[in-house]
Amino acid sequence: MAGTIAVVSALGMTAVLGGCGMTGGSADLTLKLVAADYGDNAANSSRKYWDKLVKEYEAEHPDVEIDVSVYSWNDVDRKVREMVAAGDPPDMAQIGAYADYAAHNQLYKADDLLSIPVQADFVGQLATAGQVKGVQYGMPFASSTRVLFYNKTLFSEAGITPPKTWEDLADDAEALKADGVKYPYALPLGPEEAQAETMQWMLSGGGGYTDSVDSYGIDSPENIDTFSWLKDDLVGKGLTGPVAPGELNRAAAFAAFAKGEVGMLNGHPSLAKIAAKAGVKYGMVPTPGKEGTTSSTLGVADWMTAFRKNGHRDQVGDFLDFVYSEKNVLAFSREYDLLPVTSSASSAMAASGQDRHLRTFLDELPSSELYPAGKTSWAEVSAQVKQQIGKAVAPGGSPSDVLSRLQAEASRAENAE
């Protein structure tokens, strides 16, 4: 194993393990897969998931060997970029983004690989998010949504109920502040994952990163109104805690919630596990909106891709059909408290008592909206959001100016494609 730096995927999952390879015995054909690690220690490394899956597949396909290398999220995207740049891409890569490779005609289309039943089984909005100009290249591999977590003990002590609107949230935060809660509402707009908190709030105000024709609309009136409200009604009134939102990272906010220092914050399934382990009594509700419960929440996904250079389309497709079987999708989702990317596995999870802790997130998935991952400019735009959005709610900051600047940079990045 190499590397022990904890990092975060698009789903906000932490992984700490470095690269590991696994191979089977002799075979007529070897397919190479590079995969990301969703585990947070050696005991639950994704390497174990892939090892079991590959053994099952190779037992039925002795002429094919699957050579899997698993890397931490700190390394996996860079490793694949280096392999592609060296002219030696893997046959498959399970990574955080796909649009750049698709734009350079380096990937197979999903419908060139998968059987019709398997491709049709993808959850609709996840399949759409994997498209570039209407063609699916990114195959969703793992997904998650965001909901509002609240500390039941702190709420009970303050005599308040979970919020449904922005006004409710501000009122609850005022009550929590009056009770001495350190972070009435934790607003992590620091560079670790600010693009997620930003989109969640944009959606709650009726906006988003893009408009109805899929052009960037970062400085829309809805988004400006949202960040003006955050600046004036939450941050400006001291309801977001002692750390400036632009300096508060998601991991620190989650850790504070686990210590009982946070009244409310947006979170994904791993926060439920963190809070339960720490003994925090928590509840989860849909994200409050400007006038009522938000109609759409943030959905996120990581991606499976298949590179064209080495050929082997039929063999790659057959293996991916196996990867996306209901049994295997469920096994992965349950191991890492993530949401299934297929409708069949989602239905099985919804009907299963063992997955009740994920039901709130699962209920949000059909109405979720994802990052504009099909834009090759998104990586650059996301990086700019992480660095700048905190200034929109800082004292003396201007939400309009910051969002307009981000919009200009997004337009430039989009036009440079």
- Token pair belonging to 313: 């389309």
**pLDDT-based confidence at 13, cuts 50/70/90?**
low
Q: How many CB atoms lie within 10 A of CB 3?
A: 16
C-alpha 198/C-alpha 101 separation (Å) is: 26
| Bridge partners for 94 per DSSP | 35, 304
**pLDDT-based confidence at 202, cuts 50/70/90?**
very high
Backbone angles phi, psi at 304, to 5 degrees: -100, 135
Q: What is the pTM of this model?
A: 0.85
Q: What is the pLDDT of residues 74-116, one digit of tens each?
A: 889 999 999 999 999 999 999 988 999 999 999 999 999 999 9
| Residue 11 scores a pLDDT above 80 | no
CB environment 228-261: b (16+ within 10 A), e (fewer): bbbbebbbeeebbbebbbbebbbbbbbebbbebb
| Residue 288 scores a pLDDT above 70 | yes
C-alpha 127/C-alpha 121 separation (Å) is: 9
CA distances from 401 to 49, 215, 321, 404 (A): 47, 19, 48, 5
Q: What burial class does residue 270 get, using C-beta atoms within 10 Å of its C-beta: 0-12 exposed, 13-18 middle, 19+ buried?
A: buried
**pLDDT-based confidence at 373, cuts 50/70/90?**
confident
Tell how strand 131-132 and strand 64-71 pair up: unpaired
| pLDDT the model gives residue 41 | 76
Closest Cα partner for 323 from 29, 19, 33?
A: 33
| pLDDT the model gives residue 14 | 52
Q: What is the mean pLDDT of the chain?
A: 91
| pLDDT the model gives residue 12 | 60
Mean pLDDT on 168-177: 98
C-alpha 388/C-alpha 94 separation (Å) is: 29
| Bridge partners for 30 per DSSP | 65
Which residue type, as a one-letter code, is found at position 242?
Answer: P
Torsion angle of C-alpha atoms 373, 379, 382, 388, degrees rounded to 10: -160
C-alpha 397/C-alpha 415 separation (Å) is: 28
C-alpha 263/C-alpha 177 separation (Å) is: 9
Q: How many CB atoms lie within 10 A of CB 382?
A: 23
Q: Are 278 and 259 in contact (CB under 8 A)?
A: yes
- What is the distance, to the nearest Å, from the Cα of residue 113 to the centroid of all Cα atoms in its chain? 25
DSSP at 25: S
**pLDDT-based confidence at 295, cuts 50/70/90?**
confident
CA distances from 232 to 170, 225, 265, 322 (A): 11, 10, 18, 52
| Residue 165 scores a pLDDT above 50 | yes
| pLDDT the model gives residue 23 | 47
**pLDDT-based confidence at 416, cuts 50/70/90?**
confident
Backbone angles phi, psi at 3, to 5 degrees: 95, 135
Q: What is the pLDDT of residues 41-57, one digit of tens each?
A: 788 889 999 999 999 99
